[in-house]
Amino acid sequence: MDEILDILIKDARTPAEDIAKMIRKPLASVKKAIKAYEEDGTIVQYKAVVNSALAEGDAAPVRALIEVSIVPQKDVGFDRVAERIYSFSEVTSCYLVSGSYDLLLIVEGKSIQTVAEFVSSRLSPMENVRQTTTHFLLKKYKEEGKIFKPASSAKRLNITY
């Protein structure tokens, strides 16, 4: 992968000036490369990795990984079915994967019930969907290579007699 992309993947806030110094290339060429990556879709978005347990506490959305087995459509394979599925607002990520199922979805909702309702009333009944398996995320330890500090909890006092 390109050196510029490697740096931006590790920290998207790295200024172009710093990148130019790090890779020993002219600032103008670094800015031009970044702009080209943004325009051609190589860089899709700059984002922050947030520990939602610290930022939102109990108000954090419920996330689930959903395995989906589908029947591919003639002449378009998995793409058309995947497009219909990833169009739902609840679906934050959609991947075609190898193995015992075809798609892996990351779905968010306000509660376990809203995710369950999405799966039972909108996803599972879809034509070409054969089977789903839902895994609710209980705790996030690491994401995007970053280890999460646990939310502070009240320390228990020692019991003395």
pTM: 0.75
Q: Which residues pair with 108 in a beta bridge?
A: 63
Q: How much is the pLDDT for 155?
A: 63
Bridging pattern class, strands 91-96 and 62-70: unpaired
The CA distance from 90 to 88, in Å, is 5
Long-range contacts of 92-101, Cβ-Cβ distance < 8 Å, separation of 24 or more: 92/63, 100/67, 100/69, 101/67, 101/68, 101/69, 101/131, 101/133
| 159 pLDDT higher than 90 | no
Q: How much is the pLDDT for 55?
A: 77
8 Å CB contact between 135 and 66: yes
Convert the pLDDT of each residue in 36-84 to its tens digit. Answer: 999 999 999 998 887 777 777 777 889 999 999 999 988 888 999 999 9
Q: What percent of the chain has pLDDT over 70?
A: 94
CATH numbers and ranges of domains, the chain:
3-40 (no CATH), 52-139 (3.30.70.920)
The CA distance from 66 to 97, in Å, is 12
User: With the C-alpha atoms ordered 78, 81, 87, 90, is the resulting torsion angle positive or negative?
Assistant: negative
Residue 106 pLDDT grade (very low, low, confident, very high; cuts 50, 70, 90): very high
Window from 41-55, 69-83, 120-134, 147-161 with minimum mean pLDDT: 147-161
